[in-house]
């Protein structure tokens, strides 16, 4: 039976599949050194001051040190552009595409989502009492390209090798026009990987917690613990973007599987060489993380995600270390992993748990409900709303709206981009002031943190919802995913 929350899943998968099949490559790699330097000089003037100083300027110095001959030599040595040349060209693309307004509206929308997802966890606003990250860098810069790699990120510990103080997040160019569910996957990259990599010891501490928690499941303990970068990225994505990140992951993977495997089904294969858990386990994990979030609809959403995952379960196919894993064991292990990652108190975070810094609450649900209305009417956001609602809420609302029976996915996508573009245009980190993150100066919200305010309303939308505040101020949400088989988060160069 089709669940009411996900009644339009097939159309959303088809939308993702079309974007994946599109295959547009984006702007060609800038391989002429002199021309690249000239274009970078023009483009960096379009960046906010903080990105000029901490990204464009050190990158220009790194290129100067390399010189024209060294640049050409690098391109020859990394012909596949998967290591140092891939990194250098991607940083260049990020600066050029921002400066030259490639896919202008979509790029600004993409930038806003990624900044919000990253800042949600790392900004001063959300980390009271939590030690600062080891790599205290700017929000990632975005770029389009390399459709064969899907969404991916170069975390800051890779870009630091060029002196660049921001991660880079990439999407296939066709996702600037459609393939909505891939946007939910951005939580996995920017709220997931880029956050995990901002703290040097976080991944290994989480691995230890998971291994210990799974002592009753020896076959699975190493399997999950050895895939902590990817697993923690999934968990963080959902803590930031809520159930949309989980259900979006499932639909997007099905779209990828339809294109690359010929069947729109989550893979049950657990490859020992894949740094990701099997798709099917990621579905179970998503359901259990949603069930841990403190909002009224958590069981309904967790059950919907679980039912979708169970539809793709193939008896006898999941084998780990040569042993068959039954469904009950697979599900129980995912429950243990969800709790260990989200709720363990972590030395790296000064004794806080990930879920205590960020989680999905009823307040987020109220904002998403209001945004679902805004996505259906041709009005902008009120000033109050842009001041209090975050980009991840907009993506969460778009995914949720698109999954409703008979939704117009293309229209929702266009409206999502416009709302995100509007938010980006008012983001102080992209204004003339020297501001690292929106959260660093966002001391005032439309509702107070003590839970007595109203949810922000739309200036001109009909019949806006005004539920009473409950609990604490909403955490800023952010979230993501991507295909296990094609998730080529790049290794650091060298």
Applying CB under 5 A, the residues found at the interface with Zn ion are: 230, 487, 489
For residue 236, the minimal CB distance to Zn ion (Å) is 11
Question: 74 or 87, CB closer to Zn ion?
Answer: 87
Question: 275 or 387, CB closer to Zn ion?
Answer: 275
Question: 92 or 113, CB closer to Zn ion?
Answer: 113
For residue 63, the minimal CB distance to Zn ion (Å) is 28
Q: Which residues of 77-94 are buried (b: 16+ CB within 10 A; e: fewer)?
A: ebeebebbbbbbbbbbbb
For residue 350, the minimal CB distance to Zn ion (Å) is 26
Sheet with 152-154, side-by-side order of all strands: 138-144, 166-171, 152-154
Among the listed residues 278, 276, 189, 284, the one whose alpha carbon sits nearest the alpha carbon of residue 241:
189
Question: Which residues sit opposite 153 in a β-bridge?
Answer: 169
Question: 146 or 298, CB closer to Zn ion?
Answer: 146
Contact 411, 94 (CB under 8 A): no
Radius of gyration in angstroms for the set of CA atoms belonging to the chain, rounded to a whole number = 21
Question: 96 or 233, CB closer to Zn ion?
Answer: 233
Q: What is the DSSP letter of 191?
A: I
Q: In terms of DSSP H, where are the helices of 293-425?
A: 298-311, 327-343, 354-357, 362-374, 383-388, 391-402, 409-425
Question: 47 or 182, CB closer to Zn ion?
Answer: 182
For residue 482, the minimal CB distance to Zn ion (Å) is 6
Question: 190 or 412, CB closer to Zn ion?
Answer: 190
For residue 319, the minimal CB distance to Zn ion (Å) is 22
- What is the rounded CA–CA span in Å between residue 54 and residue 57? 6
For residue 230, the minimal CB distance to Zn ion (Å) is 5
- What is the rounded CA–CA span in Å between residue 473 and residue 384? 15
For residue 143, the minimal CB distance to Zn ion (Å) is 17
Task: Give the tokens for residue 350.
Answer: 């000064």
For residue 273, the minimal CB distance to Zn ion (Å) is 15
Contact 52, 44 (CB under 8 A): yes
**Backbone phi and psi for residue 170, each to the nearest 5 degrees, phi listed first:** -125, 145
Q: Give residues with Cβ within 8 angstroms of 355, minimum separation 6.
A: 239, 292, 293, 342, 343
Question: 308 or 489, CB closer to Zn ion?
Answer: 489
């Amino acid at each position: 039976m089709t669940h009411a929350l996900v009644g339009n899943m097939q159309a959303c998968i088809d939308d993702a599949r079309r974007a994946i099949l599109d295959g547009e490559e984006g702007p060609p790699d800038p391989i002429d050194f002199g021309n690249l330097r000239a274009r970078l000089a023009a483009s960096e003037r379009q960046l906010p001051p903080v990105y000029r100083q901490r990204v464009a300027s050190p990158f220009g110095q790194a290129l100067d040190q390399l010189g024209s001959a060294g640049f050409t030599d690098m391109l020859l040595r990394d012909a596949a552009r998967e290591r140092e040349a891939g990194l250098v060209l991607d940083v260049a693309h990020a600066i050029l595409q921002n400066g030259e307004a490639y896919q202008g509206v979509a790029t600004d929308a993409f930038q806003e989502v990624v900044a919000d997802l990253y800042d949600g966890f790392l900004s001063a606003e959300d980390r009271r009492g939590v030690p600062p990250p080891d790599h205290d860098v700017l929000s990632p810069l975005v770029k389009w390209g390399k459709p064969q790699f899907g969404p991916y990120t170069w975390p800051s510990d890779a870009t630091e090798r060029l002196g660049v103080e921001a991660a880079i997040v990439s999407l296939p160019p066709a996702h600037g026009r459609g393939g909505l569910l891939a946007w939910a996957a951005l939580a996995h990259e920017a709220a997931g990987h880029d956050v995990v990599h901002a703290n040097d010891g976080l991944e290994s501490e989480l691995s230890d917690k998971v291994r210990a928690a799974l002592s009753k499941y020896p076959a699975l303990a190493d399997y999950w613990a050895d895939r902590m970068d990817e697993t923690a990225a999934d968990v963080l994505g959902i803590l930031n973007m809520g159930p949309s990140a989980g259900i979006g992951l499932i639909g997007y993977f099905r779209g990828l599987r339809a294109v690359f495997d010929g069947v729109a089904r989550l893979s049950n294969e657990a490859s020992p060489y894949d740094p990701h858990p099997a798709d099917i386990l990621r579905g179970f994990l998503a359901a259990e993380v949603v069930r841990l979030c403190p909002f009224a609809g958590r069981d309904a959403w967790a059950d919907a995600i679980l039912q979708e995952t169970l539809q793709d379960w193939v008896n006898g196919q999941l084998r780990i270390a040569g042993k068959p894993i039954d469904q009950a064991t697979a599900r129980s292990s995912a429950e243990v992993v969800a709790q260990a990652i989200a709720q363990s108190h972590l030395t790296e975070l000064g004794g806080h748990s990930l879920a205590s810094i960020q989680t999905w609450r009823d307040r987020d649900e109220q904002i998403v409900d209001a945004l679902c209305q805004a996505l259906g009417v041709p009005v902008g956001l009120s000033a109050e709303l842009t001041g209090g609602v975050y980009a991840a809420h907009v993506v969460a609302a778009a995914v949720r709206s698109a999954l409703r029976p008979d939704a117009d996915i293309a229209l929702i996508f266009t409206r999502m981009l416009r709302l995100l573009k509007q938010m980006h245009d008012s983001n102080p980190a992209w204004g003339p002031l020297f501001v690292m993150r929106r959260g660093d100066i966002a001391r005032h919200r439309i509702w107070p943190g003590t839970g007595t305010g109203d949810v922000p309303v739309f200036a001109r939308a009909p019949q806006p919802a005004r539920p009473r505040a409950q609990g604490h101020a909403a955490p800023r949400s952010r979230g993501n995913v991507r295909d296990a088989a094609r998730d080529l988060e790049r290794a650091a160069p060298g």
